[in-house]
């Protein structure tokens, strides 16, 4: 091979490597959007791929810049609170491995690096909507195949009905907002199809906290998109209480029955958590599984053992104390500030931000009844969506 031919081959190889390094983060982001509808192993792998692709692209560009989403200072505060709690824990060996959860808020910034590229984000968002619809259909189909009963509640691909419901709670508001607010018919119809499938699947999870969370999310969306629609939503909610069949009606009514056996058990868990906080007000009891500690603090009437307290705010107060509560509040306020921008804008970016804002509100309301902030299979989609929403601020405006 001549020197000139070798130089041309080298130039072509270099150009190919440059192109791969440039497009890899976009495809990795789409892979993550697909993975967050599945289970924890694919989510972790896709996040690793996105991190590697992003770092390689930055290295080749010789430009290392982390986006200032506003979440990072709160994320460091949250990490510090978790470290403090683990260090002061009764069971440090059980607490230390759980410190990895402190990394999740930084996923928003990692996603935002690529999400500022509108084309890459649009591809990832389309993958997310398509995957949401497909997984929802799979979950509903398996529920029907297993007898279509409360006992066979839909589990999707995550393997647990509450986790599946939590994933749908985060994805549904985004699909609904896009269906209502985006002028492009292809996006509207695609999002509407995904939302319809996801709504059915969420129904057959029989997860009351997610139902309540979705009602709040829809109220937020309608408040910005069509305020009179809140009255329509309220009427639909009343009709569901009045006419829902069988197990659906029973589940709806039980959500507001303080004497229902399951509700009583959760009340006992919250009381135990309050006692833990009273005894450890600054740093909590630690991040370890709470079974052993709960047995010491539970009410005499409690019959259910608990490894967590089925309430985000009680759980954080009990395990991390006032330091954790303050850091969590800082983190959530920062998350809302990062995603809630130009919510009335009739564009794909505006609809995405509105949907993510609504999803975060619904997620926090659902957290009154479950420890959803402790479920890693929900933290991946939560912070990925936050990163997408922040990145959409830099897209072109299309009214």
Closest Cα to residue 354, out of 338, 366, 342? 342
Distance CA 346, CA 67 (A): 25
Helical residues (DSSP H) of 150-290, grouped into ranges: 161-181, 185-203, 208-225, 229-243, 246-254, 261-279
Count Cβ atoms below 10 Å from residue 9 Cβ, excluding itself. Answer: 11
Question: Which pLDDT value is given to residue 21?
Answer: 54
CB 362 within 8 A of CB 371: no
Give the position of tokens 């229902």. Answer: 260
47 falls within a domain = no
18 falls within a domain = no
Enter the DSSP assignment of 183. S
For 105-164, what is each residue's pLDDT tens digit? Answer: 999 999 999 999 999 999 999 999 999 999 999 999 999 999 999 999 999 999 999 999
Burial of 62 (0-12, 13-18, 19+ CB in 10 A): exposed
For 278-328, what is each residue's pLDDT tens digit? Answer: 999 999 999 999 999 999 999 999 999 899 999 999 999 999 999 999 999
How many domains does one find in the chain?
1
For 255-279, what is each residue's pLDDT tens digit? Answer: 999 989 999 999 999 999 999 999 9
For 30-61, what is each residue's pLDDT tens digit? Answer: 999 999 999 999 999 999 999 999 999 999 88
CB 174 within 8 A of CB 339: no
For 242-254, what is each residue's pLDDT tens digit? Answer: 999 999 999 999 9
For 204-217, what is each residue's pLDDT tens digit? Answer: 999 999 999 999 99
43 falls within a domain = no
Task: Retrieve residue 61's tokens.
Answer: 């560009």
247 falls within a domain = yes
Helical residues (DSSP H) of the chain, grouped into ranges: 3-35, 40-61, 72-87, 92-95, 106-115, 118-145, 161-181, 185-203, 208-225, 229-243, 246-254, 261-279, 291-297, 312-339, 348-366, 376-391
CB 92 within 8 A of CB 86: yes
191 falls within a domain = yes
Contacts of 98 (CB under 8 A, 6+ apart): 82, 86, 287, 288
Confidence of residue 398 (pLDDT cuts 50, 70, 90): low
Question: Which pLDDT value is given to residue 54?
Answer: 95
**Mean of pLDDT values over 195-200:** 98
Percent of the chain residues past pLDDT 70, beyond the cut = 94
Domain range for 141 is 69-394
6 falls within a domain = no
pTM confidence score: 0.94
Give the position of tokens 């906290």. Answer: 209
38 falls within a domain = no
Question: Which pLDDT value is given to residue 5?
Answer: 56
Give the position of tokens 């619809």. Answer: 133
Question: Which pLDDT value is given to residue 354?
Answer: 98
363 falls within a domain = yes
């Amino acid at each position: 091979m001549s020197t000139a031919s070798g130089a041309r081959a080298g130039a072509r190889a270099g150009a190919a490597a440059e192109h791969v390094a440039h497009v890899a983060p976009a495809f990795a982001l789409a892979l993550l959007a697909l993975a967050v509808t599945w289970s924890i192993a694919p989510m972790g792998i896709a996040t690793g791929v996105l991190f590697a692709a992003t770092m390689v692209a930055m290295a080749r560009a010789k430009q290392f810049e982390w986006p200032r989403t506003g979440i990072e200072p709160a994320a460091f505060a949250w990490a510090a609170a978790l470290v403090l709690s683990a260090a002061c824990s009764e069971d440090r060996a059980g607490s230390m491995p759980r410190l990895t959860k402190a990394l999740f808020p930084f996923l928003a910034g990692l996603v935002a690096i690529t999400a500022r590229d509108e084309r890459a984000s649009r591809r990832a968002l389309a993958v997310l909507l398509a995957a949401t619809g497909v997984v929802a259909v799979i979950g509903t189909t398996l529920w029907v195949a297993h007898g279509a009963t409360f006992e066979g509640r839909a589990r999707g691909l995550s393997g647990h009905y509450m986790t599946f419901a939590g994933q749908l709670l985060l994805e549904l508001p985004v699909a609904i907002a896009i269906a209502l607010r985006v002028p492009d018919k292809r996006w509207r119809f695609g999002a509407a199809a995904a939302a319809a499938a996801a709504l059915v699947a969420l129904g057959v999870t029989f997860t009351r906290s997610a139902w309540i969370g979705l009602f709040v999310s829809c109220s937020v969306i309608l408040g910005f998109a069509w305020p009179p629609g809140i009255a329509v939503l309220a009427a639909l909610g009343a009709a569901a209480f009045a006419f829902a069949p069988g197990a659906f009606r029973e589940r709806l009514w039980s959500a507001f029955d303080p004497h229902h056996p399951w509700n009583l058990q959760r009340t006992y868990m919250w009381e135990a958590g309050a006692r833990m906080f009273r005894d450890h007000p600054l740093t909590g009891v630690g991040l370890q599984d709470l079974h052993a500690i709960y047995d010491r603090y539970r009410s005499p009437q409690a019959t259910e053992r608990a490894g967590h307290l089925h309430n985000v705010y009680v759980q954080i107060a009990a395990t991390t104390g006032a330091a954790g509560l303050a850091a969590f509040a800082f983190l959530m306020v920062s998350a809302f500030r990062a995603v809630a921008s130009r919510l009335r804008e009739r564009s794909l970016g505006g609809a995405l931000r509105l949907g993510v804002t609504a999803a975060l509100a619904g997620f926090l309301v659902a957290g009154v009844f479950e420890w959803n902030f402790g479920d890693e299979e929900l933290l991946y989609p939560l912070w990925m969506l936050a990163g997408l929403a922040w990145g959409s601020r830099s897209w072109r405006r299309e009214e």
